Amino acid sequence: MWDASQPKATAPMIVEDWDRLTFRVNREAYRSEGIFAREREAIWSRHWLYLGHETEIANPNDFVVRTLAGRPLIFCRDSTGEVRAFLNSCPHRGTVLCRETQGSSKLFQCFYHAWTFRNTGDVAAIPDEQAYQAGEDFRAAMRLRAVPQLASHEGFVFVSFNPDVRPLLDHLGEAADYLTMIEEQHVGGMQTLPGVQLYSVRGNWKLAVENAMDGYHFSPTHNTFVGYLRESGYAVTDDDQYAYNLGNGHSLLVLTGHGGRISMIWEPRFGADERVRTQAHRAEMAERLGERRAHYVADESHILYVFPNLLLFDIEGLSIRQLEPVAAEQTDVRAWQLVPRDEEPAARALRMKTVVSFVGPGGLATPDDIEAYEAVQRGIDATAGDARSGLDYSDMSRGMLDEVKGVQGRSIDEGAMRGFWRRWVDAVGIPDGLHSSGERPASFLEGREMR
């Protein structure tokens, strides 16, 4: 195992060769606890992380608890309506303060010695307070600990444990507009449905990122679903589907070949009533947003990855997925449905049926995907420590020729993954982590000029 305390890795994490057009990732990146510890420090403690959606805490005093980068947090809307994130740890002696998963409360009371806090962070009561000599100063020092940075964009709330993190919009860069496009889908805006799908995967978190950006696996891995689409009269194609590096480690797949989405792109399996609703909604969007913008919002399906822990699947319905690495080989995943606020009941019912049948944890896609990345995690044990040159590496070379020629990468290639890994190796700061040979193209295809 590579030791994070050593100044040099024994073998580079990433090897790119522009003469042979190959790109390889050292499999230690998926299994080393040393690298996991380094990621915690260099990525998860320093960058913006997706915390949750504002509509999860729609009303004053609403709260949910959530663990992010291993730290227990309270995500709440205080009694004045302000969105806040506190460490879920009593300032007295550190006990987990809020032991319910969600609810509505103006106060949080620690069960250990009954210190009580308002949801603004102020101390409300300390039993036998006169024993403390410092008075108001003591109360001020014992406020709930806020997460150092919190900001939101289009209802998506991000936090950072780094007080000096750059502004959220700088971090989001080109990804910001895709979050805006989600909010623009419906005139009344979007909301999360109550409830979270929570599952644990025996695999490294980066395998989940790769899987989401991997159009290559769609037909072979999800062949049951592909067969079902064909039987229902919908042609599936990989043509005209592209992958974009949006910069800062964010990436985007733009899918049109298997992109049926409730209220956006009709398919026969959605039925005749949905066809009428989709046509009316499409016309309303063109009116409201202009045809060009409406085209991007409605007619393409997107899978958006926001580095490091947010995945948005704007396919079928709209699923938010949050990655929480627990150990090098273990990841917790939380998922929510984002739905139009003012959706009529028949459309909502169809949406839920459709979403759970594909991207839900028991659907036709997600169990296949989880099996794929757990199988990678098991399979790569075979080459662990193998001294033969280049053996303990995974290959992600597909589409490099297009990259050199300046041709836009396809979703069935691996360009989005390469963009992620280049950002990762830079962010994690492993000395000599990237070994590059041959003539690198002057610019990688980053961003998407269309708006």
Which positions touch ligand FES (CB under 6 A)?
A: 90, 92-93, 95, 110, 112-113, 115
Q: Which does 93 bind (CB under 5 to 8 A by kind): ligand FES, Fe ion, none?
A: ligand FES
Nearer to ligand FES, 112 or 138 (CB): 112
User: Residue 327, by phi and psi: left (phi above 0), alpha (psi -120 to 50) or beta?
Assistant: beta
Q: Looking at 44-52, 118-126, 365-373, 411-419, which segment touches Fe ion (CB under 5 A)?
A: 365-373
Nearer to Fe ion, 369 or 392 (CB): 369
Q: Which does 49 bind (CB under 5 to 8 A by kind): ligand FES, Fe ion, none?
A: none
DSSP string, 203-231: S-HHHHHHHHT-GGGHHHHTHHHHHHHHH
Distance of alpha carbon 326 from alpha carbon 29, whole angstroms:
15
Beta carbons of 402 and 409 less than 8 angstroms apart: yes
Q: Which does 56 bind (CB under 5 to 8 A by kind): ligand FES, Fe ion, none?
A: none
Please tell me the count of residues contacting Fe ion according to CB under 5 A. 1
CB of 398 to Fe ion, least distance (A): 16
Please enumerate in sequence order all residues whose Cβ is within 8 A of that of 302, keeping only pairs 6 or more positions apart, or say none.
Answer: 178, 181, 252, 253, 254, 255, 312, 314, 315
The 14-17 sheet, strands edge to edge: 393-395, 22-26, 14-17, 434-437
CB of 116 to ligand FES, least distance (A): 9
CB of 89 to ligand FES, least distance (A): 9
Q: Is 16 in the site for Fe ion (CB under 5 A)?
A: no
Give buried/exposed letters for 345-368 (b at 16+ CB in 10 A, else e).
eebbebbbebbbbbbbeebbbbeb
CB of 62 to ligand FES, least distance (A): 23
First to last CA, the chain: 46
Nearer to Fe ion, 184 or 210 (CB): 210
Nearer to Fe ion, 28 or 214 (CB): 214
CB of 71 to ligand FES, least distance (A): 17
Q: Looking at 223-231, 367-375, 427-435, 442-450, which segment touches Fe ion (CB under 5 A)?
A: 367-375
Nearer to ligand FES, 93 or 288 (CB): 93
Give me the helix-helix angle, 415-428 and 205-212, nearest 10°. 150
C-alpha angle with apex 80: 74 to 84, nearest 5 degrees?
Answer: 25
Beta carbons of 444 and 403 less than 8 angstroms apart: yes
CB of 215 to Fe ion, least distance (A): 9
Nearer to ligand FES, 126 or 338 (CB): 126
Query: How many angstroms from the chain centroid is the CA of residue 165?
Result: 19
Query: How many angstroms from the chain centroid is the CA of residue 192?
Result: 15
Nearer to Fe ion, 225 or 424 (CB): 225
Q: Which does 92 bind (CB under 5 to 8 A by kind): Fe ion, ligand FES, none?
A: ligand FES
Distance of alpha carbon 297 from alpha carbon 183, whole angstroms:
10
Q: Is 369 in the site for Fe ion (CB under 5 A)?
A: yes
Beta carbons of 1 and 392 less than 8 angstroms apart: no
CB of 159 to ligand FES, least distance (A): 23
Q: Is 316 in the site for Fe ion (CB under 5 A)?
A: no
CB of 90 to ligand FES, least distance (A): 3
CB of 114 to ligand FES, least distance (A): 6
- Among 400, 412, 211, 427, which residue's Cα sits nearest to residue 307? 427
- In the bound state, the residue with its beta carbon closest to Fe ion is 369
Beta carbons of 27 and 206 less than 8 angstroms apart: no
Nearer to Fe ion, 34 or 260 (CB): 260
Q: Looking at 300-308, 351-359, 361-369, 373-381, which segment touches Fe ion (CB under 5 A)?
A: 361-369
Nearer to ligand FES, 88 or 192 (CB): 88
Cβ count within 10 A of residue 451: 10
The residue ranges that bind Fe ion (CB under 5 A) are 369
